[in-house]
Amino acid sequence: MQQASNILLLCHSTTEELAQKILPNHPNIEQKKGVSWKKFPDGFPNLFIEDVESCIGKHVVFLGSFHSPEVIFEQISLVYALPRSCIKSLTFILPYFPTGTMERIDTEGQVATASTMARMLSAIPLSAMGPAQIMIFDIHVLQERFFFTDNVLPRLQTALPRFLQELHKFRAENGDVKIAFPDEGAHKRFQNHFDDFSIIRCIKKRNGSARKVSIVDGSPSNCHVVIVDDLIMTGGTVLECASMMLKSGATSVSAYVTHAVFPLNSWRNFLTDGKYWKVALSNFWITDSLPHATEIAKHRPFELLSLAESICRSLQK
């Protein structure tokens, strides 16, 4: 008789596809079925964990997604409830930390919602083995780990090793490839991952909603440039940076971001029939840290790199 797994994987309804990619890569994990994500007529969550006794004494991994305010409350409710079901430990995989760009106060009156989100997650009750682990990929600012209290253990991971696998294959097929960082933040965060590549460092200045990207170090002349950043919203910075690379002599431009946020379907700006077609990218690599990335990746120039392998490697540690 096969022994039941000691690790149970639960997932939100929007992360089911990513969960199915994780299971074959982790031999000791079993998916727990039977979490009902229903709503009452007023829109508030109506949640139910079937056979909750099967969680007793197990290491529970919950794969969530805070891609919209509408789904945060129901998932917070679940992770608050799980430790009270006598589980051994809880790991909350939250690939994208959604308030990451609102992590500091520059003007009195602003609200640092990243701090609020961290406090909400820090309230997860202790399990039998202690604090819950919160696994986040490519958080916008590393210092955000200090927003969390000692009641939880933030584990800040990166998806760049998976991208580097793809990038080395791309360079073997396309010759000279250089990495461009569109601003100082991206350069500080990621430069150490690209020791094998020449670097182009840029700075970004904002004037209202307009962005101006300038090259301060390196040259894109006669090479393929790959722009690297942690996340993308409307895409204005990447498009401005791509335009600057081409004007400065790059033969072609591609891009990579871990989190393809793209509110209001702004990813369409990168399609060949979009309004920015004059700076069309050769490739645009994204990950499935957000549920809608799978649909985006059906359209060129987008290409999906799954976080499943990176998640499994982190869990096995």
Which residue has better confidence, 278 or 171? 171
Q: Lowest-pLDDT range, 111-120, 125-134, 152-161?
A: 111-120
Chosen domain end from 108, 132, 157: 157
- Phi/psi region, residue 34 (left: phi>0; alpha: psi -120 to 50; beta: rest), is left
What are the pLDDT digits (tens) for 120-129? 999 999 999 9
Which of 4, 20, 19, 127 minimizes the C-alpha distance to 54? 4
Question: In the prediction, which pLDDT does 2 show?
Answer: 41
Q: Is the peptide bond before 301 cis (omega within 30 degrees of 0)?
A: yes
What are the pLDDT digits (tens) for 238-259? 999 999 999 999 999 999 999 9
312 domain-assigned: no
| Domain span including residue 61 | 7-157
Q: How many domains does the chain have?
A: 2
Helix 160-174 and helix 308-316, axial crossing angle in degrees, nearest 10: 130
| Residue 27 bridge partners (DSSP) | none
Tokens standing for residue 30: 């079993």
How far is residue 256's CA from residue 190's CA, in Å, rounded to a whole number? Answer: 12
Same domain for 182 and 251: yes
Same domain for 270 and 194: yes
Non-local CB neighbours of 192 within 8 Å, separated by 6+ positions? none
Same domain for 143 and 112: yes
Q: What is the pTM of this model?
A: 0.93
How far is residue 288's CA from residue 260's CA, in Å, rounded to a whole number? Answer: 8
63 domain-assigned: yes
Same domain for 167 and 33: no
Same domain for 189 and 91: no
How far is residue 238's CA from residue 148's CA, in Å, rounded to a whole number? Answer: 31
Chosen domain end from 157, 183, 216: 157
Give rounded-to-5 percent helix, strand, coil for the chain. Answer: 35, 30, 35
59 domain-assigned: yes
Question: In the prediction, which pLDDT does 182 show?
Answer: 95
